Amino acid sequence: MRYEKLAKDIIQNVGGKENVKSVVHCITRLRFKLKDESKANTEALKSMDEVVTVIKSGGQYQVVIGNHVPDVYKVVVAEGGFASAAQVDADDENEEKQSLFNRFIDVISNIFSPVLGLLAATGIVKGLNAAFVALGWISNVPVNATTGAVESTYGIYALLNAIGDGFFVFLPIFLGYTAMKKFGGTPFLGMAIAAALVHPSLAGIKALEPIMTIFKGTMFESPIQIEFIGIPVILMSYTSSVIPIILSTFFAAKVEKWAARVIPAVVKSFFVPLLTLLIIVPLTFLVIGPVATWVANGIGQGVLSIYNTVPIVAGLILGAFWQVFVIFGVHWGLVPIYYNNLAVMGYDSFIALTFAASFAQIGAVLAVWLKTRDQKLKSLSLPAFISGIFGVTEPAIYGITLPLKKPFIMSCIGGAVGGAILAVMGSKLYGAGPLGIFKIPLFIDPTDGLTTGFWGSIIAMVAAFFVACVLTLLFGGVNKQADQQVFSENKNAIKGLRSEEIVSPIAGEVIALTEIPDQVFASEAMGKGVAIVPSNGRAVSPVNGVVTTLFKTKHAIGITSDNGAEILIHIGMDTVQLEGEHFTAHVKQGDKVSVGDLLVEFDIENIQKAGYQVVTPVIITNSADYSSIDAIREKIVSEKQVLIRAV
């Protein structure tokens, strides 16, 4: 029950449970997909003590909680009765159009987020096992080559290896589940496809004498051991692979939906998966798998060639900007490269360059803790530092260094130094999963033990930490009045905000927000303002400013005034479901508007005939930035008459 109130407040301020399409979580964040982001009260969420910050990225509305996000997530899901992201039809026609990059980030994050905890856990076991072997505590061979005696500690190694390596070897099965969910198919069907790809019998078939060789003399030259209805089958190794199963489930979800439409309901329960498997599994072995494997190998070799050409530059860039990538969520775009390198080459030397960045971040936080005279800042710095030791840097970034600006810059410099050292020393990761100090054992070479690359990871970690710490102590400006004001008074303050009179965008009857039948607006969770019952079907600009939001359904318009007021005009209740019918927009997003410019026309009569109310809230969504928001006392208002005074 500890997080019940927090969960209720979060649900309310993301626009209520009816505004949530799905919610998942990663290590520190609740990742919502909302139907209408304008209904979310970002400032209210940011002001909660238990919320670190709010990020909008990759088509997701991300509420950053911290280390205890799994517990909060359970309560949020239970409280809201939410579906997971993958239970939402991936082909939903009402889904907002996203850029190709945002869709890619959304897909990758939803596929990998559910397995991050397991990857971290098994990665720790694998790293510790390698460390125990390197230190001579246990043996990784069953029989001593010199004495011929049985190694008594081999059993420890074997079982720990099974725990640490098993998950990654059969990773395609787990990704088959999460990817199929994301693409809108049946998850267990995705697992069945992946299980076929990693079936043990395939290893034995690959050992047979080839009956032919295709693509001779090219980089795609492949021995053929078996055929399928006369078509040569290129047998690849799909254990630990990433790209083949993701592509396979993408097509499988589409085949399954097609099969569900054409197969009679009486036999659908078993004929749909039967037909999907009979189409997709052979297609994967014949085409999707080999092509995906060649692509994966090409990516691996391409990344390796970039690294080998200018390793120190790669280290400087990745080390410096990794925390920036984390802020915007774009680090997910590099996750497949990491796992692909491990599957193809057995190690990764690219993402390894980012290892020291989190230690640079906590070096800057330690400097803030040592130097600041602000007690609130000091009290937040220590837990953020502890979280960062274990690789969870969001509390440090959003709570400490980013609001103060200069410490964040110093941490990026420290990360660049660490990345350069990792590159020069040739450090490599031999496993996936854990963060922070738990990642150290993964730099141990399973064959050669404590190599130069391992010691390079230690040197880089220490160097990044101390460079960021010292630079922040010297140049972080921690106790400068301006920086303290940013943190202590209002870290999200909008500079240049001025008092303003906001005129009415609509003629009609003025009523209080509390009188409208929508809890989000009535509770002022979206901000303060009034509601208007329109007397005619037109809305004009209430200020001089810019149209920052125009929903494709044309029922809601967001305008930011030249004086900094953020105004939402929401025509009607639940009119989003009309999908733009009976609305005509006369502006587009990004347009500059002046007071009285026509924004939208709407057909009151037909909207009401369709069963919807036309009462229109006019909200100042950044109300928290003002000392007062006062509405006029008149009951009837005309266009361009003063409606709200924001002080």
Query: Which residue numbers are catalytic?
Result: 26, 570
Q: CA dihedral in degrees (473, 479, 483, 484; nearest 10)?
A: 130
Cβ 61 vs Cβ 32: under 8 Å: yes
Cβ 288 vs Cβ 251: under 8 Å: yes
Helix/strand/coil (H/E/C) assignment for every residue in 447-511: CCECCHHHHHHHHHHHHHHHHHHHHHHHHCCCCCHHHHHHHHCCCCCCCCCCCEEEECCCCEEEE
Cβ 326 vs Cβ 354: under 8 Å: no
Cβ 513 vs Cβ 639: under 8 Å: no
Distance (Å, whole) CA 541 – CA 454: 62
Neighbours of 78 (CB within 10 A): 11
Tell me which DSSP letter residue 288 carries. Answer: I
Distance (Å, whole) CA 508 – CA 538: 11
Distance (Å, whole) CA 381 – CA 399: 8
Beta bridge partners of 226: 233
Residue with tokens 């029922």: 555
Tell me which DSSP letter residue 81 carries. Answer: T
Tell me which DSSP letter residue 287 carries. Answer: I
How far lies 391's CA from each of 354, 394, 395, in Å?
Answer: 11, 9, 11
Cβ 236 vs Cβ 290: under 8 Å: yes
Residue with tokens 């130094």: 417
Distance (Å, whole) CA 585 – CA 517: 25
> What DSSP string describes 153-199?
THHHHHHHHHHHHHHHHTHHHHHHHHHHHHTTS-HHHHHHHHHHHT-
Distance (Å, whole) CA 411 – CA 401: 8
* Length of the chain, in residues: 647
Q: Element (H or E) spanning 607, and its range?
A: helix 604-609
Distance (Å, whole) CA 74 – CA 132: 36
User: Helix or strand or coil: residue 603?
Assistant: coil
> What DSSP string describes 349-411?
SSGGGGTTHHHHHHHHHHHHHHH---HHHHHHHHHHHHHHHTT--HHHIIIIIHHHSHHHHHH
